[in-house]
Structure 1
Amino acid sequence: MEETENKQKNDEIMEALENVIDPELGIDIVNLGLIYGLEIEGSKCTVTMTLTTMGCPLSDMINNDIHQAVESVEGIDSCDINLVWYPIWDMSKMSRFAKIALGIHG
Structure 2
Amino acid sequence: MKTCNETLSPLEMTVRDALLRVVDPEIGENIVDLGLVYGLEVEGETARVNLTMTTPACPMGSMVMDEARTELIRALPGNMQVDVQLVWEPPWEPSMISAAAKHRLGWDYPF
* TM-score of the aligned structures, taking structure 2 as reference length: 0.80
What is the rounded CA distance, in whole Å, between the counterparts of 2:44 and 2:100 in structure 1?
Answer: 32
The aligned counterpart of 1:82 is: 85
Cα separation, 2, equivalents of 1:13 and 1:42? 14
Alpha-carbon shift at residue 53 of structure 1 (Å): 0.7
Structure 2: where are the runs of 5+ without partners? 1-7
- State the Cα distance separating 1:16 from its structure 2 match: 1.0
Residues 1:26 and 2:28 aligned together: yes
Q: Which residue of 2 aligns with 1:17?
A: 19
What residue number does 1:49 align with? 51
Judge conservation of contact 1:13–1:70 (CA < 8 Å) in 2: yes
> Which SS does the other structure have where 2:83 is aligned?
strand
In structure 1, list runs of 5 or more residues that go unmatched: 1-5
Q: Once the two structures are aligned, what percentage of the paired residues are identical? A: 39
Cross-structure match for 1:92: 95
Tell me, in whole angstroms, the C-alpha distance in 2 between the residues paired with 1:47 and 1:93: 17
Distance 1:24 1:8 in 2: 31
Which amino acid in structure 2 is aligned with residue 105 of structure 1?
A: D
Runs (4+) off by over 4 Å: none
SS of equivalent to 2:55: coil
Who is 2:108 aligned against? Answer: 105
Q: What is the number of residues matched between the two proteins? A: 100
User: What SS does the corresponding residue of 2:11 show, helix, strand or coil?
Assistant: helix
Report if the CA contact (8 A) 1:45-1:76 is conserved. Answer: no
1:101 CA drift (Å)? 1.7
* RMSD (Å), alpha carbons: 1.7
Structure-2 change in CA distance of 1:39 and 1:76 (3 Å): farther
Letter of the 1:82 partner, please give it.
Answer: Q
